[in-house]
């Protein structure tokens, strides 16, 4: 069911589709400007119809998210324990502070440039929106990894979950803790294959090349990534 509230003279309105959230909870509110350009997203878990027939609570979300929300793309990977269960748990935890807009399929991949024999990975990409600043988002992702059992200093080692910030809008961020865009995403088929499924025409902020074209440039390694037999 779709409900719209364009307000009275405001610059934005919210369009809510209940029951279609990728996580199965509530709906995703898409915030539009008057020219119908998407300007933000908000996770909606409830709505109350007011006496005048408008969904005023959702309209307040629109006003708030119009100012602060940023679109993000995350890459998720796991090769330790219940791989599908790890991805499901990560997505559920992400929904606490990220409005999840779309999810790629789950892909399986051979370990990439690791120093020891490892099990194959499950990988996927996620598009979402958040009010968190880049370093706040990083801290949130690290807390999820810790909650799901990832050990410190487990880079290039088997791990139950790995969550990377691939893109944060069009931002280019460089600090000791974090680089955005992810500095090695263009070299990794296990990142680009799922990302290209949900964002093929999004341009890399520094290369100015769309994701689908970056994926094509990895032709020799695309055979190392394939659609998994399991679904999220």
- Decide if 59 is inside a domain: yes
Yes or no: say if 93 and 144 are a contact pair by the CB < 8 Å rule.
yes
What pTM was computed for the model? 0.72
60 and 94 together in one domain: no
Cα→Cα distances 187→47, 75, 131, 182, 220, Å: 44, 14, 29, 10, 11
In a shared domain, residues 42 and 148: no
Domain carrying residue 98:
70-227
How much is the average pLDDT of 184-208?
Answer: 96
User: Is the confidence at residue 45, as pLDDT, over 60?
Assistant: no
Q: Say what the pLDDT of residue 49 is.
A: 42
Q: What is the pLDDT of residue 68?
A: 65
Q: Do residues 27 and 83 touch, judged by C-beta distance below 8 A?
A: no
Is 232 within the bounds of a domain? no
CB atoms under 10 Å from CB of 68, counted, come to 12
Q: pLDDT tens across 155-194, in order?
A: 667 889 999 999 999 999 999 999 999 999 999 999 999 9
Domain end residue (candidates: 33, 53, 68): 68
Q: Does one domain contain both 35 and 122?
A: no
Find out whether 164 and 74 touch, Cβ atoms under 8 Å.
Answer: yes
Rounded distance between C-alpha atoms, residue 226 and residue 211, angstroms: 17
Which of 68, 94, 111 lies at the terminal end of a domain, its last residue? 68
């Amino acid at each position: 069911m779709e409900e719209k509230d364009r307000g009275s003279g405001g610059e934005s309105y919210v369009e809510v589709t209940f029951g279609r959230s990728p996580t199965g909870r509530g709906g995703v509110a898409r915030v539009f400007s008057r020219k119908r350009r998407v300007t933000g997203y908000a996770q909606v878990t409830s709505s109350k119809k007011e006496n005048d027939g408008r969904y005023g609570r959702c309209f307040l979300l629109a006003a708030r998210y119009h100012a602060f929300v940023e679109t993000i793309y995350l890459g998720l990977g796991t090769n330790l324990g219940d791989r599908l269960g790890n991805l499901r748990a990560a997505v559920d935890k992400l929904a606490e502070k990220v409005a999840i807009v779309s999810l790629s399929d789950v892909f399986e991949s051979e370990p990439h440039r690791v120093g020891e024999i490892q099990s194959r990975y499950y990988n996927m990409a996620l598009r979402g929106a958040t009010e968190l600043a880049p370093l706040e988002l990083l801290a949130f992702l690290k807390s999820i990894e810790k909650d799901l059992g990832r050990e410190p200093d487990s880079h290039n080692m088997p791990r139950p979950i790995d969550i990377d910030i691939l893109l944060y809008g069009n931002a280019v961020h460089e600090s000791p803790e974090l680089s955005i865009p992810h500095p090695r995403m263009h070299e990794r088929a296990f990142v680009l294959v799922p990302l290209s499924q949900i964002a093929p025409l999004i341009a890399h902020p520094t290369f100015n090349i769309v994701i689908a074209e970056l994926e094509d440039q990895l032709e020799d390694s695309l055979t190392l990534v394939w659609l998994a037999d399991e679904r999220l």
